[in-house]
Amino acid sequence: MDILYIVAVGVLSVLYAWTLYNIPILVSGVRHLRRSGKERRKFSSPSKERLPIVSIIVPVKDEEKVVGRLLDALLKLDYPPEKKEIVIVEDGSVDKTVKICRGYTDRYPYQVRLVRRSVSDGKPSALTYALQYVKGEIVAVFDADSVPEPDALMRAAEYFEDESIAALQGRPYSINADENMLSKFISYEEAVRYETYLGGKDVLNLFVPLTGSCYFVRRSVLDEVGEWDDGSLSEDMELSARLVEGGYKIRYASNVRSWQENPASLNQLFRQRVRWFRGCMEVSLKYGKLLKRWDRGCIDAEVTLFGPFIFVLFLLGYSLGICTFLGSIHPDMLFKVMAQGAMLLTTVTLFLIGMALFYMTKPRKVTNLLWLSFVYAYWSVQSLIALCALVQIVLKRPKRWVKTAKTGTIINNVV
Residue 303 has pLDDT above 70, yes or no: yes
Q: Which residue has the higher pLDDT, 119 or 112?
A: 112
Dihedral of CA 160/161/163/165: which sign? negative
Tell which residue, 240, 110, 103, 233, has the closest CA to residue 167: 240
Say which residue, 380 or 317, is predicted with more confidence.
380
Q: Residue-wise over 167-188: b if at least 16 C-beta within 10 A, else e?
A: bbbbbbbbbbbebeebbbbbbb
**20-29, 262-271, 296-305, range with the lowest pLDDT:** 20-29
Give the other-Cβ count within 10 Å of 47's Cβ: 7
Q: What phi and psi, each to the nearest 5 degrees, are found at residue 218?
A: -65, 135
Inter-residue contact 166 to 243 (CB < 8 Å): yes
Q: What is the pLDDT of residues 218-231, one digit of tens each?
A: 999 999 999 999 88
- Concatenated DSSP letters of 328-364: SS---HHHHHHHHHHHHHHHHHHHHHHHHHHHHSSS-
For 363-379, the pLDDT digits (tens) are 656 555 666 667 777 77
pLDDT for 93: 86
More confident position, 112 or 405: 112
The domain segmentation of the chain, as residue ranges, is 47-265
Which of these, 280, 273, 285, lies nearest to 402 by C-alpha position? 273
* Predicted TM-score of the model (pTM): 0.87
**Candidate CATH numbers 3.10.20.70, 3.30.530.20, 1.25.40.20, 3.90.550.10; the one for domain 47-265:** 3.90.550.10
Q: Which amino acid is at 101?
A: C
Does the structure show a pLDDT above 90 at 108?
yes
Residue 122 pLDDT grade (very low, low, confident, very high; cuts 50, 70, 90): confident
Q: If we measure between CA atoms, which residue out of 121, 126, 128 comes closest to residue 144? A: 126
